[in-house]
Amino acid sequence: MKQATFVKCALGATAIALLAGPAAAEMELSFYSGWQTAPHSRLKGDYPGGGDYNALIGWDGKSFEMPPYYGVRGTWWRDERIGFGMEFTHTKVYAPDDEAAGIGFKNFEFTDGHNILTVNALRRWPDQWQGLTPYVGGGLGIAVPHVDAETTAGDKTYGYQLTGPAVRLIAGASYDISDRVAVFGEYQFVFSSNEGDLDGGGTFETVVKTNALNVGLSLKF
């Protein structure tokens, strides 16, 4: 119920962003990759067949291993300073092998994407520092990870799940290399609360917080 309500809120916010106010002055499509990490967080739940687990996990990001970390952002700039849009990020987290084994798993990963989709609002300050345009932003959305987990008893979970809400914070700067193309660098923090199911009747619960340093390219229309 909570997840369904959050999805409705996200879709409603998207509609408001697209319909409120005058037509967009500029559309910007941004692509990025970079270095993404995730600090420790607690992973807990119930095993398929009974019993529970609870441990602090030191997640690995492995940004540059396949599949790589990346993101795509679409922004409708209403004027020179204020923009709204949507963003998708393919983050990753792996439980280290010894820590997964310590709680009865052969592996526990969100590695074909701990996928984050948010509705964003952004504020920029055009051409402030020798052609650089700083910007900040934030977004609300959902986490849709690809859960890859196998217990030592052989119960395997492999597939996408809608696991809960997500919050995104952004701070960066862009530089125009032409009227239509810009490069940018930024910091992103993403918080997501995740509750899901393990095949065979188990559950999992964890908070994933990622920190990322991104570099990318924006196309303007």
What is the Cα–Cα distance from 155 to 87, expressed in whole angstroms?
34
**Distance separating alpha carbons of residues 66 and 205, to the nearest angstrom:** 25
pLDDT at 112: 86
Q: Mind giving me the DSSP string for 112-155?
A: EEEEEEEEEEEEE-TT-BTTEEEEEEEEEEEEEEEEEEEETTS-
Average pLDDT by stretches of 10, the chain with 221 residues:
44 46 73 96 94 96 91 96 97 96 96 94 93 97 97 94 98 96 98 96 96 98 92
